[in-house]
Amino acid sequence: MQLKPFTAVLPNADGRIKLETNDETWSTEDEQRQTGNSYYWYELTQNGVHQWRLIARWPENQTVSTIIPATINTVLYAQQPVIEMLIDDWVGHFPKALEVTDTNKVTHRLWQITDSDVNADITEVLAPIEPRKTWLTTTSTSLVMLVADSEWAKFKAPVSIPAHLIRLATDQH
């Protein structure tokens, strides 16, 4: 996969409160731009079950096979022990960028991978991996969330992602 790190926009303190209370009056005043290009580990927790995802920038004008047509598309791939090892080895070494529990009692946590060497390792590890091509929905998207098959199977129904959880900063090239 031709993925790379990106500069993200995340909810600030006011934005987190709006996500937690399902307040739909969102504005740019509820956001903050992160520093530097990063990948983001994303953990969802519902009823004690945890699921890991990786959020990355996707090449422009490229479509992907997806399960969830949304701002950030979810792409499944066959389980890759190297990626799981990267999560296990690195997630605790980076700052938690966001934690929100939504009105459906789902907790969303993001960790920003700030080390350029680790980001380079992730890019290299993901390069030869092909996403599964079993779904018909295709959408051009700037960001993707990657989920291993085994992780996706943890929830009987897909967990929804708050619309303003994370987005690509618009002035990137």
Backbone dihedral angles phi then psi of residue 55, each to the nearest 5 degrees: -100, 130
Q: How many domains does the chain have?
A: 1
Q: What is the pLDDT of residue 89?
A: 76
- The model's pTM is 0.89
Structural domain contains residue 141: yes
Q: What is the pLDDT of residue 69?
A: 62
Structural domain contains residue 14: yes
Structural domain contains residue 110: yes
Q: What is the pLDDT of residue 139?
A: 65
- Exposure string (b/e) for 131-155, b if CB count within 10 Å is 16 or more? beeebeeeeebbbbbbbbeebbeee
Parent domain of 55 = 8-168
Structural domain contains residue 2: no
Count of other CB atoms within 10 angstroms of residue 36: 13
Structural domain contains residue 61: yes
Q: Residues 108, 41: contact at Cβ < 8 Å?
A: no
- pLDDT < 50 stretches in the chain: 135-136, 172-173
* pLDDT tens digits for range 125-169: 888 887 775 544 566 678 888 888 888 889 888 788 898 999 999
Among all chains, which residue has been given the structure tokens 């520093």? Answer: 35
Task: For the sheet with 107-113, list strands across it.
Answer: 72-77, 143-148, 49-57, 39-46, 107-113, 96-101
